[in-house]
Structure 1
Amino acid sequence: MNKSLSALTLGLLLAFATTSAQAKDEGFYMGASLGSATIEQDGADPDLGDFDFDENDFAWKIFGGYQFSGLLAIEGGYVDLGSPSDSGTKIDPYGLDLFAVAGIPLGPVRIFGKLGGIYWDSDIDIGDTSSSDDGFDAAGGVGLEFELGSFALRGEVEYLDVLDGTWMYTLGATITF
């Protein structure tokens, strides 16, 4: 009896997993997210002097991509990491990112991870002195998406290697065409 119940449970789980893998709509998608970014920057700049910065601010992003299957997508977008300031120091970073996204659909919920890079630019103001920095660095994240057909709500956490490190926490929505 116990073996039959275990086999039935395993069979139902496999059936659920294979049908849920098809749950995510395939095709092009667009989305937007709002949240917060925490930016860290320590440094000694010839123009700016020594400084230590660890602040957060409102952040947002718009993005788009192509969903190949419920398991794999490619995604890129524009990220505005806000303009946090502290004691006369202001940092204003933004960037363009590109990710490979892998997901595991579990019914209407999909857990995903993303790995890629970001081209970023940042203006740093300390008092009356300004400096600019840019670069292309690694980026990654994890998230959870609740899918309702072509529409989805998503929450995610991303690490962007912008300046000495930036964490972005967002809630957003996507629509698949």
Structure 2
Amino acid sequence: MTTRKLSLLCAALTALILSPLAQAKDEGLYLGVSLGAATINQEGSDPDLGDFEIDSSDFAWKVFAGYQFNGVLAVEGGYRELGSAENSLVKTDPYGIDVFVIGGIPLGPLRGFGKIGGIYWDNDTDFADTSISDDGFDLAAGLGLEFELGSFAIRGEVEYLDVLDETWMYTLGATFTF
């Protein structure tokens, strides 16, 4: 048997063996919670204080619900608190409601996924003697890895949120599919 035929045979056998594993993700409604940190970057100016810059990290969390259509496609929405970022002049407290389309690559009990969507965010920035409120709907995207144990899964994620100038969220969480 030639090397090419042997390679094709091995690839076909591997695909045959892994095909049931590729559909291991439970389908249906799921709920989840994640804890971690958010890094917030913001630049701005105040008439009294002048220019300011915040580059700070704080505890962050989110709760979410979604629907897994199959091992590859899901939709998800949630609420997140991004912590407080501050420096000696300014303190900011963003939070938001998000919605995502998620594409996954199931590999047995592991599943890599990417997500893209948007976040409606609200933020209060406090200066020494004044407060400014700001909100918007902006881009949100992320990458993650999930370890599935039947209906229960543990997930780690990195998400970019176009909140303020730039916000990154790093979390570890769990989901339960009904």
Question: Could you state the TM-score of these two structures normalised by the residue count of structure 1?
Answer: 0.94
Distance 1:52 1:138 in 2: 22
Contact 1:66 1:73 in 2 (8 A): yes
Contact 1:47 1:131 in 2 (8 A): no
Partner of 2:121: 120
Displacement of 1:48 in angstroms is 5.8
Contact 1:16 1:107 in 2 (8 A): no
Q: Which segment is superposed worse, 147-156 or 4-13?
A: 4-13
Residue correspondences, number: 177
Structure 2 unaligned segments of length 5 or more: list them: none
State the one-letter code of the partner of 1:76: G
Distance 2:16 2:92 in 1: 51
Query: Secondary structure of 1:11's partner?
Result: helix
Distance 2:165 2:36 in 1: 20
Give the 5 Å matches for 1:20-169: 20-46=21-47, 49-169=50-170
State the one-letter code of the partner of 1:155: G
| Deviation beyond 3 Å, 4+ runs, structure 1 | 1-5, 45-49
Distance 1:52 1:73 in 2: 37
Displacement of 1:7 in angstroms is 3.0
Partner of 1:176: 177
Displacement of 1:22 in angstroms is 1.2
Distance 2:102 2:70 in 1: 11
1:6 equivalenced with 2:1 (yes/no): no
The Cα RMSD (Å) is: 1.5
State the one-letter code of the partner of 2:173: G
Contact 2:54 2:85 in 1 (8 A): no
Displacement of 1:82 in angstroms is 0.5
Contact 2:52 2:89 in 1 (8 A): no
Distance 2:44 2:18 in 1: 49
